Amino acid sequence: MSWVDGKPAPGLSVHDRGLAYGDGLFETIRVRSARPQLFERHLQRLQDGCQRLGLACDLPALSAEILAFSAALGDGVAKLVITRGEGERGYAIPRASAPRRVLLGSPAPAYPIENAEQGVHLFACATRLAEQPRLAGLKHLNRLEQVLARAEWQDPAFAEGLMRDMSGRVVEGVFSNIFLVRDGRLSTPALHRCGVAGVMRAEIIEQARQLQLAVQVQDIAFEQLLCADEVFLCNSLFGIWPVRGLMEHRWSAGPLTRKLQGRLVELSGNS
């Protein structure tokens, strides 16, 4: 199932700047019972990204389009891609660019239930994230760093990979964000240099504060990660996965991780 600019279509022009330069953004939205989940957070991140990249975005019209696509999809994943549209060869932005909207529907991923219940092992990726503050936090179309990182392991014992920046600071997973618990305090890496500001990350920060849990957004050294009492991953498709292993280090799913998992289940049941 695919739509381009609000209509069923098989694909894009070969001259599209999203293909040529990664000039655009995307959102991966979980759809349940024809309703997009964390919808307002996805729209807010998209609006922020469009403003930062100078992409025209009619948010009310786009919102209506996503809702209609979700209704047609029913259950699964809706991937929204916004590109700057077609252009001639060269990096210069066309004066009369016309952004393109692509919606792709797919089944929900079948992650093992054990990932959430028992936790996962992390692979320590050698690929580092380049620091580019102008793109930090955005879910832009250039994902080559993640492609290279994911190619580093084939062993199914590892459900995710840990990514660091050029200085060795902990940033995120290949397709998730990361949280640490130390002495009852929750922390997650600052993303002003690189990384993706996930919508589930934002939701967890908000829910933690509603539960009156202390939350810090800060630089996290690799050594701090290894000294954590609890570690967990999150994204908008799988929710929360406790981390139980990284190299020789081992953790268990602690009380704060379980509390936040329960909070998300409670909220999804009320949605």
* Residues recognised as catalytic: 28, 139, 172
Crossing angle (nearest 10°) for helices 39-53 and 59-73: 140
Q: How many helices (H) and strands (E) does the chain have?
A: 8, 15
Per DSSP (E only), the strands in 155-265 are 158-165, 170-173, 177-182, 185-189, 215-218, 230-235, 239-246, 249-250
CA angle 182, 183, 184 (to 5 degrees): 90
Q: Tokens 């001259």 map to which residue?
A: 15
| CA distance readout (Å), 41 to 36, 54, 131 | 11, 20, 24
Q: Tokens 């949280």 map to which residue?
A: 179
